Amino acid sequence: MAHSADQAPVPRRFARSGPLTGTIRVPGDKSISHRALMLSALCVGQSRISGLLEGEDVLATAAAMRAMGAQIERGADGIWTVHGVGVGGLMQPAQALDMGNSGTSTRLLMGLVASHPITAMFTGDASLSRRPMARVTDPLGEMGAEFNASPGGTLPLMVRGISPAVPISYRLPVASAQVKSAILLAALNTPGTTTVIEPVATRDHSEKMLKGFGADLTVETDADGVRHIHVTGPCDLTAQDIEVPGDPSSAAFFIVAALIVPGSDLTIENVGMNVTRTGIITVLEQMGGQIERLNARTVGGEPVADLRVRASALSGITVDPAIVPSMVDEFPVFFIAAAMASGTTVTSGLDELRVKESDRLATMARGLEAIGVDVEEREDGLVITGSGGASLRGGGPVATLLDHRIAMSFAVAGLASEQGVNVDDTAPIATSFPDFLNLLDRSTGAA
């Protein structure tokens, strides 16, 4: 199941490669995959999901929904079918729900459980068990759910749901799609109208999908640009056929690789282009990256396009902190692009990166230093002076601290390095992108 600290590490050296060429597809979007399983499990009837990301995080969500009564099966054709229990129909799980490394599964499922009359114990791996949960348990507690957490508000954590729960109006103190989504999911089985007030817009997959499944959801934007999201429950959800677009967070590793490896011309098909997720493309284009959107279309309410990426001379920029929520997961690989650019790249407003799978600011700063990059770590960001397109020195080993995105980012750095880059553990990559290493070898001609 989930990769954990007690599994043997799988080190690997990533060496300089030829150009990335041809056409690839990245796995299904992780955020949408989680939500597709959860919402399908709350419908009456059968939903079908194609393109589901089959990484460990999403499989943890599937296992949890099965434990609470949904029937979930994967067909030989790769299409998943879900027979749901209906809103209000979640059953008491017989044992603890093991979330592995998945913060999204944990926080969203706490929202689901909070408004059902069941009790669930959430456990996770060493990395997940360090991550803060109070940001979710505080608002859900206002709705009437009870929580017994480990010291510091972390996993293992027991949730006692309540039905009927109490509708609340909650202003997000920190931009977080997970907190917003947890409250909206709790609202599905709560009589009355629950409101989430979102001062800074975050990814809106939950709102789009809840509407698609038939929830009574409205969004208003006030004069100050603040979003007010209302759900009136209890809701009946209608089973759907869902096609999951490719994950822009996974595509980001190949976008950066193609930009920094000379001679590359790579097409990445079927990438989700939801504007709340494409900040990485915006900033790479600001740096001079050639990224062409082809065949733009809408799939299941989500915008999708094929991306043609060509090797480009990048220039350092100062990243506007306002764009952070739309690329929060892509900063590790963005820092690799910055390391190859001309001049200095300055980032700020990245406090959230300190509470991800690892402290991503500190972990990336140490790793960049280990491969010869000029980097300054500040309280809320990194300042990177790039190589001007010259190959990175390389070396290592880089410590990934069980963080899948750190491992993939330094794999990309190795492709544009003199000595190659030694990554201490590639096993965590399976949490979000099981086929990453094969796809990387194939697109660089190493396979």
Binding residues for 3-phosphoshikimate: 30-31, 35, 176, 178, 329, 356
CA dist., res. 226 & res. 33, Å (int): 27
Question: What per-residue string of b and e applies to 300-313 under the rule 16 or more CB within 10 Å gives b?
Answer: bebbbbbbbbbbbe
User: Using an 8 Å Cβ cutoff, are 335 and 382 in contact?
Assistant: yes
The DSSP bridge pattern shows strands 21-25 and 265-272 to be: parallel
Distance of CA 149 to the CA centre of its chain: 24
Distances (CA, A) of 22 to 308, 437, 443: 10, 16, 7
User: Is 247 a known active-site residue?
Assistant: no
Residue among 306, 329, 424, 425 flagged as catalytic? 329
CA dist., res. 183 & res. 140, Å (int): 7
Tokens 């406090």 sit on residue: 351
Q: Is 420 left (phi over 0), alpha (psi -120 to 50) or beta?
A: left
DSSP code at position 109? H
User: Using an 8 Å Cβ cutoff, are 194 and 168 in contact?
Assistant: yes
User: Using an 8 Å Cβ cutoff, are 357 and 307 in contact?
Assistant: no
Binding residues: 30-31, 35, 103, 131, 176, 178, 329, 356, 360, 405
> Cα-flanking dihedrals φ and ψ of residue 324, to 5°?
-55, -50
Nearest Cα to Cα of residue 95 among 185, 143, 170, 156: 156
CA dist., res. 343 & res. 288, Å (int): 13
DSSP code at position 387? -
* Residues tagged active-site: 329
